[in-house]
């Protein structure tokens, strides 16, 4: 079966930065519902269209095609007394976006003079990425998966 709209695609992926350093990879395969459900980068989904089990695709993603450009307003300096725990570089905190009310993840990137620099940008924002995916399996999506807009089952997501 080929990758097409309303198929569930199971794949392994690797992501590399511009220096060809591995920055992320799957340990277990992931599954997603193919066909414009925003489950995977659109350029990767486009490259996977029509592929079969065992096929490999490689796509170079500019920041706008992947995690976006870093936004300065998502970098904030906070007094470390505002944190409920001792702060360390690399820690992550959830905070509500005052404009949208959405929960955002902030990463502590620096600490100095009683202040912590927190960054709400994705850690890979601003980075050109080479995305390599190997198709493990392709199957027809169930009606329930199509209605929910995502894959269910072993490697997919289920409510």
> Is 153 a member of any domain?
no
Q: What is the percent of the chain with per-residue pLDDT over 70, rounded to a whole number? A: 96
Confidence (pLDDT) at 154: 61
CATH number, domain containing residue 111? 2.40.10.330
Is residue 40 included in any domain, yes or no?
Answer: yes
Res. 97 pLDDT band, cuts 50 70 90:
confident
Query: Which pTM was predicted?
Result: 0.81
Q: 89 lies in a domain?
A: yes
Domain-located, residue 2: no
Residue 156 lies in a domain: no
Record the tokens describing residue 92, joined without a space: 């992550």
Confirm whether 53 is domain-assigned: yes
Q: Is the pLDDT score of 68 beyond 70? A: yes
Position 158 scores a pLDDT of 45
What is the Cα–Cα distance from 151 to 156, expressed in whole angstroms?
A: 5
The total domain count for the chain is 2
Q: Which domain holds residue 89?
A: 72-119
């Amino acid at each position: 079966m080929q990758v097409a709209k309303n198929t569930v695609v199971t794949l392994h992926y690797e992501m590399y930065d511009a220096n060809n350093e591995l920055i992320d990879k799957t340990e277990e395969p992931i599954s997603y519902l193919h066909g414009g459900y925003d489950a995977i980068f659109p350029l990767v989904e486009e490259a996977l269209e029509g592929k079969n089990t065992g096929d490999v695709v490689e796509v170079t993603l500019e920041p706008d095609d992947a995690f976006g450009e870093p936004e300065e307003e998502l970098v904030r300096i906070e007094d470390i007394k505002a944190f409920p725990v001792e702060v360390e570089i690399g820690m992550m905190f959830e905070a509500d976006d005052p404009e949208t009310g959405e929960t955002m993840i902030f990463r502590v990137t620096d600490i100095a003079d009683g202040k912590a620099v927190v960054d709400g940008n994705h850690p890979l924002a601003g980075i050109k990425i080479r995305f390599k995916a190997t198709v493990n399996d392709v199957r027809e999506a169930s009606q329930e998966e199509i209605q929910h807009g995502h894959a269910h089952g072993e490697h997919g997501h289920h409510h």
